[in-house]
Amino acid sequence: MISRTFRAETMIEALAQVQKDLGADALVVTARQIPGGEPWQVWRKPLVELVAVKLEPGEDAPRVTKDKENLSQSIKPDLSKKDPILKHTKITKEPLQGHVTTPAPDGEKNIGTGSTVEKSSAAIEEELETQKIGNGTSMEDSIEISGKKVRSQPAGEPRLDLLHQLSMDESLEGVRIVQVPAAKTRHDKPTPQKTEAALELSIPAPQQLENAWPELQRIFHHLLEQGVDSGLVKRVCQISADTLGAQTAMDPRKLEEHVRRQLEACIKVLPEAPRKEGQVICLVGPSGAGKTGFTAKLAVRYRRELQKKVTWVCADTVRTGGIAEARAFTEAINIPLQIAYSPQECAAIVDSLTGTDLVIVDTPAANPRNEESIVETGSLITSIPGRSTWLVIPATAKESDLVNTAAAFSAFKPGGLVVTKMDETNSFGAIYNLAMRTQIPLAYYCSGPRILDDLHPAAASRLVQSLFTERFGR
């Protein structure tokens, strides 16, 4: 089934759009009046919004079954009378399957074949009551347009809001309400204690976006699959559905660009600017996050590209091979290396460095679930006044682990977020959610092991683009 939303200034124009885009066999499901124009325009005029569907070959319109109470009350109004709203609406009654239709008595008018006759409201009410008592079969109202079924509802609760809108156009002579037997639900063993509402709740309905175009529905589900916060995705897509015009909504490129701009506005980015002399950056994070590799990449960038004096302070003395790895990097980059075995020694080294533009402190890995490990890291970085603390996290971690890590290091008030291993995943919703919820500015992205080429200054557009392409773009 193809579903689309059409908006126009009048009902006739909206119906013309339906016929042009979906053809003459399209079915109008709902019709309502909505505000038009941009949200800030006080003089905007109301618009008419239609939701139309087109059934694919072999597909039938859905039916709705309900209780059989107050069945006879639905036919009491004589809708066949001249009504300015229902001037083209007819109420007919089709025979139940398996029953023989009797010829129309005298005084009743045949319309077409002998199987469908037009009757007065009293006669229809009497016959329906007889059928209800005799065989327990309930009837329902089925709305048809040009012979195509649109929707069904119990005859006891007729809803004529759709017909009220459709019948305003005098060209819709094919609109009618047909009485058909309600669909039966087959059960091997009837269970009276189970209500219909309970049966409906047993099958969870897929999450949908109300009154959205098909392309916007696709973006909505894609972002949910990426793991982006569902509340944010629904709010962003709903704003797009309410503010964009039909022409823009049908253009996938423009629609995606509109959604991207909204997502980019929800996260912060730390601008890359030349650091003042003596700037100290302490890198903290869990084990395996890639702090040492990022330290080497950042040192190379400031040393070779920005022409800054950089000093590497290695406080990661507990990990096996940590000092040897740091020495290998500094010799290749040709920058000085200082080794600190205690918080006091680290503070003394930082104070002694003069004439250095940037000091990078590579701290030991801290376990977010180990309080003692967090305390040791805290004692190290708090001994350095005027520092900037950056949190280094891998893009491959689970969202729950990222949340726990950010909560554990929140006491250090991180001023930057570094995301590593961006090339090792195709799902970036967890990283986006962390940046959006914590509002920690993104500083850098790392997308590989190469020291010179795999470090990228953070940009909101690059992360949001990865949500749509499922691949980190350089």
pLDDT tens, 436-465? 999 999 999 999 888 888 999 999 999 999
Summarised one tens digit per residue, pLDDT across range 16-63 is 888 888 887 788 888 888 877 665 555 567 888 888 888 777 666 554
Q: Provide the pLDDT confidence category of residue 294 given band limits of 50, 70 and 90.
A: very high
- Whole-number Å distance between alpha carbons of 466 and 426: 8
Alpha-carbon torsion 118, 122, 127, 129, what sign?
positive
Please determine, for residue 365, whether its predicted confidence score (pLDDT) is greater than 90: yes
- Whole-number Å distance between alpha carbons of 432 and 395: 10
Side chain identity, residue 36? G
Summarised one tens digit per residue, pLDDT across range 237-293 is 888 888 887 777 788 898 999 999 999 999 999 988 656 677 899 999 999 999 999
- The pLDDT value given to residue 41: 55
3-state secondary structure of 51: strand
Q: Which fold has domain 279-469?
A: Rossmann fold (3.40.50)
- The pLDDT value given to residue 37: 66
Residue 193 CB neighbours (<10 A): 6
Instruction: Give the lowest-confidence range in 51-65, 217-231, 368-382, 437-451.
Output: 51-65
Summarised one tens digit per residue, pLDDT across range 387-433 is 999 999 999 999 999 999 999 999 999 999 999 999 999 999 999 99
Half-sphere exposure (Cβ direction) of 83: Cα atoms closer than 13 Å: 15
For the chain, give every domain's residue range: 2-54, 72-184, 214-264, 279-469
More reliable by pLDDT, 107 or 441:
441
- Whole-number Å distance between alpha carbons of 236 and 260: 9
Instruction: Choose among 140, 148, 144: nearest CA to 184.
Output: 140
Query: H-type helices in 62-159, by residue range?
Result: 121-135
